[in-house]
Every structure is written in structure tokens, then in C-alpha cells.
Amino acid sequence: MTMERARRLQQLPPYLFAELDRLKAEQVRKGVDVISLGISDPDLPTPPHIVERLKAAAEDAANHRYPSYEGLREFREAVARWYRQRFGVDLDPETEVFALIGSKEGIAHFPLAFLNPGDSALVPSPGYPVYHAGTVFAGATPHTVPLRPAQGFLPDLGAIPEVAARQAKLLFLNYPNNPTAAVAEVAFFEQVVAYAQAHHFIVAHDAAYSEIAFDGYRPASFLQARGAKEVGIEFHSLSKTYNMTGWRVGFAVGHPELIAALGQVKTNVDSGVFQAVQEAGIAALDGDQGCVEEMRRTYQERRDLLLQGLREVGLKAEVPRASFYVWAEVPPGYTSAKLTTHLLLNAGIAVTPGNGFGPEGEGFVRMALTVDRARIAETVERMRKVGF
């Protein structure tokens, strides 16, 4: 019996993290105390009032049945209220909001609704790998859009070849950005809207990190741009905002036809989000947002401590205004993979190589602020000892 994998899997780039995962596991088996700055999973707990809402909702037998595909009406109304309060964006909870099993799931499924074999999508590099993978799974071709320091890691729309822009049916964006921590303003989003309208493609914006921001900065929603809802869809997650990564709940908002098409895909591949989790999501969105502000303060303290340490050991990194990532340049004589391996094997520090997010990520490593201040201080001390 031949067990040849489908060509769509063969089209995915090599999983560069696999070897690093192996090396990390090997170090742990040897008894090495590995400090992991590579995982984008918050170490902070879910706020208690959200947990309590889940407990009560889980005991309600009405929540033990299949949920509605599009999400509880009450959850979608809570999303609409949150968007109005946070961004000043009005949404129809009936047609412009859809519950997701985490935003990653929705992003991965969205290309199936609009891309056919032979179509293409504009995919940022470096970028969250699911944009590339979702395009490939739909049988379409990813066209790389470089994100470079000179443009503040925003796509240079004027540099996209005209033929690529005309052929594209979809553009992926993500601000605040993973992995670069770059941010985008409403003025830039309005340029994107005009560009999308001129070239007749859809914009899919991943806003998972919109609530993790520092020094009083408030990231924008793509839907705040004039005309954005006419061309776009935005994905959000409760994972990072409320430390609910394991709960798997998020939502998509935007143009009714885009929402409906995503819903058509999802009705054929999943059965919705557990209603008790949605009730907990309502408690998160409608509840006191002091827990979010406390989270911001915690990450900002960690950010400042890590940046100070990186300067002391000779690594360069821009001060991130949002997300919980630091995008650090590799020193002379190193590649992203070489620095990652050096830190893991010689210092017991796990970071993520930039080229794991696409070829334009070469020359950088990503460090996540998902360990406490004591571990960050230990990270800096270990780097100081091993040097570069």
C-alpha cells in the first residue's frame, strides 16, 4: 500500500521548527533548564471572572448540545458591542459577525471560500505561516509580498508587480504584526482599501494582537478605514487579549458576503464553538477590561527589561509598540538558524528563527515576552556569558 502524501502537503515549505523542537527536547532530556522565548502562548492565566462564567455555563444542560454554526446570537452581539466601544465600528451581529474556533481556524478556512486552483493570493513575508498554508490548501499560489525594515515592515504596495496585483484575489495583512511587532495606522489601511478596490481583490486582516500595546498606544482596526468593509474581513481572537489560547474562541467580522462564504465552508467542516466557551467569551468582551490593562503593564515591564538586556549584550531590536514580540537582528557572522542553534545549545535559550516565517525573515529572531521578569533577567545573563 502506497502512503504518498497529497501534493498540497508537499507544496508547504520545510518545517524549520521541527529540527529546533528536536534539539530543544534533547536539551531537556539532558537536564538543561531551557528558557523558551519561542512560544507565543501567554503564561498569564485567564482572568477569574471568565473562568467562573465557563463553570456556570458548563453546568447548563442546554449548552451540552451542538451549538449554532454562526455562534450564539448573544456572543455575536457582544462582539458588535466591543467593536463599537473599542473602534467606533458598527457591525450587524446577524450578518457581519461569525464565531470561530480561534482565529487561526477561520484564517485557514477563508481561502477555501474564494480561491480556486490557479488563483493567487498576496502573502506577506515574514508572516504567520497559516496565510501561506491556507492559500496552498485551496490549490492557489502564494505571491510573496516582502515586509522590510525600510518601510516599517509594511508592504510596499507600489512595489508589487502590476501583473501580480491584477491576478490576486486576496491579500493577507496582520497588524500589530507577528513576528515583526510592526504596527499600521488607519491612513495606511485606507491606502490598502484603495489599492484593493483598484485591483478587485479581498483584504483579510488578522488583528489577533490589537489589544497588546504599550506606552498608551492603541492599534487600529482595518475596519476603521473608509470603505474597508466593502473589501475586507477582519479576524480576531480572545486568545491573546484574555489569555484564552487553549479555549479556542475567536470571531470574524466584515462584509456580509465574505462572512457568509466563510460560514458556508465552516458548516461543512466543523460544528461550531462549545456554547459554554462562547458564554465565557461574552463575559470577557462585556466585562471589566482592567484585566487587559494589567496584562499590558506586565508585558511592557518585560519588554523594557529584555530590550535593556539585549542592548547590553550587543543585539539590536526596535522598541515594539504592540504585540508581545521582540524582533531582534542577528549579529554579524550569524544567520537566523545559526543564532537560534547557538542560543539553544550553549545557553539553553529557545528563540524562533526569522526565516521560519518566510525568506524575508532571514537576519532576525523572534523573542516572545511570555516568561516572567526573573526568567528574562536569566536569559540576558546567559547571553552575556556565551557571547556572540
Residue 373 has pLDDT above 70, yes or no: yes
Residue 333 phi, psi dihedral angles, 5° rounding: 90, 0
Residue 82 has pLDDT above 70, yes or no: yes
Check if the beta carbon of residue 120 is closer than 8 Å to that of residue 167: yes
**Within 13 A of 197's CA, how many CA atoms are on the CB side?**
12
Sorted by where each starts, the structural domains of the chain and their CATH numbers stand as 7-45+291-386 (3.90.1150.10), 48-286 (3.40.640.10)
Residues written for the chain: 388
Grid cell 504518498 in the structure block, residue:
4
257: CB partners within 8 A, 6+ apart: none
Query: What is the percentage of the chain residues whose pLDDT exceeds 70?
Result: 99
Give the predicted TM-score (pTM) of the model: 0.96
Check if the beta carbon of residue 79 is closer than 8 Å to that of residue 253: yes
Q: Mean pLDDT of all residues in the chain?
A: 96
**And the C-alpha cell for 218?**
492603541
Nearest to 359 by CA among 118, 127, 160, 47: 127
Q: Cis peptide before 179, with omega less than 30 degrees from 0? A: yes
pLDDT tens digits for 36-78?
998 888 999 999 999 999 999 999 999 999 999 899 999 999 9
pLDDT tens digits for 99-153?
999 999 999 999 999 999 999 999 999 999 999 999 999 999 999 999 999 999 9
